[in-house]
Amino acid sequence: MITGTEKIINPLQKSALNKKGLCDYVINIASGCLHGCTFCYVPSTPSIRTQQKKLHQKGVENPQLDWGKYLFMREEVPGKLDQILKRKRKWEETPSGKGVILLCSGTDPYQNKKTAEITRKTLEVLIEHKKKVRILTRGLLWQNDLDILTHPNISLGMSIPCIDDELLKRIEPQAPLSSDRYKALQKGYEAKCRLYVAMAPTPPMMTLENFKFNLEQFMKINPEVIFWEPINARGTNGKRMLSAGLEFAKSIMSRQSWADTFIQQWNDIEIAAQQVGCVDKLHIWPDPSLKGFVSKEKIDNWLYRPTIEKWNSN
């Protein structure tokens, strides 16, 4: 593992994730991630590709294929963020992004003790400036911050594609067990945190019954929204999955097979949500690449669609 620190000028960045109903801004408290999820899209994004030379200098041989083996903390984030928010006069607030800040989009804010420390300090700044915050994590250390995470303008979400330790340990080799993530959500529910679930990305072998079982479990912690999308195994994502011995990736590596699986699982999760009684909470993350396989109207129905969550006005 290669770890260290990283300088950053402006930790607060506008985001296009309002197309998923997630946020208008993102903050990343580190570069890289030690969870090593084989499917992760982040190594293929410009934020990593444009840093390849700098990462090479820090000892990272292949920033995309070595994902999960490096992490550079941005310790200056809380201080710089406070300075920026004190000066900032204009705040973006789209109907789908709702002016929310996502912490984080390209790393995990609670993957280890150091990132958890930076995250807590960052949250304290955001609370002071009365910002709406969405946290997305696979980590468990947020349970130490329940004293501030029960704030009405903080929504805490965990990525749990399915509650299946054996399967997810192969796909997300260094992330906490899915059962432990679910137990953490139960603790957050008992503490009266605002919660949501990212049931994403689901592996191709999941069936209607699998979706129904998982939705039934998630509904027990009363999430405000359940986001969903399937695994994408094209490009470097697929190469990392195959190198990890995940043979099922071959079944979704072509555009046609990926689209067929996406459509089947989309149908299954909507049926499961109807059976469980949580259709109103289900929020689909469609991929624009599905155009040509499903109607444009079906995709556009979800792109830039606001979630059902309610946020306090600033």
pLDDT of residue 314: 58
Q: Where are the domains of the chain?
A: 2-300
CA dist., res. 286 & res. 289, Å (int): 9
Q: 2-300: what CATH class?
A: alpha beta
Q: Which of 224, 167, 190, 217 lies closest to 38 in space, CA to CA?
A: 167
What proportion of the chain, given as a percentage, has pLDDT over 70? 99
pLDDT of residue 93: 96
Coil, strand or helix at 289 = helix
Over residues 158-162, the mean pLDDT reads 97
CA dist., res. 158 & res. 138, Å (int): 6
Mean pLDDT of the chain: 94
What proportion of the chain, given as a percentage, has pLDDT over 90? 82
Question: Could you tell me the two tokens for 309?
Answer: 């969550």
Q: Which parts of the chain are beta strand (E)?
A: 2-5, 12-14, 25-27, 30-32, 70-73, 101-103, 133-137, 154-159, 194-202, 226-230, 282-284
pLDDT one-digit tens code per residue, 172-192:
989 999 999 999 999 999 999
Q: Is the pLDDT of residue 35 over 80?
A: yes
Q: Can you say whether the dihedral through the CA atoms of 143, 48, 177, 192 is positive or negative?
A: positive
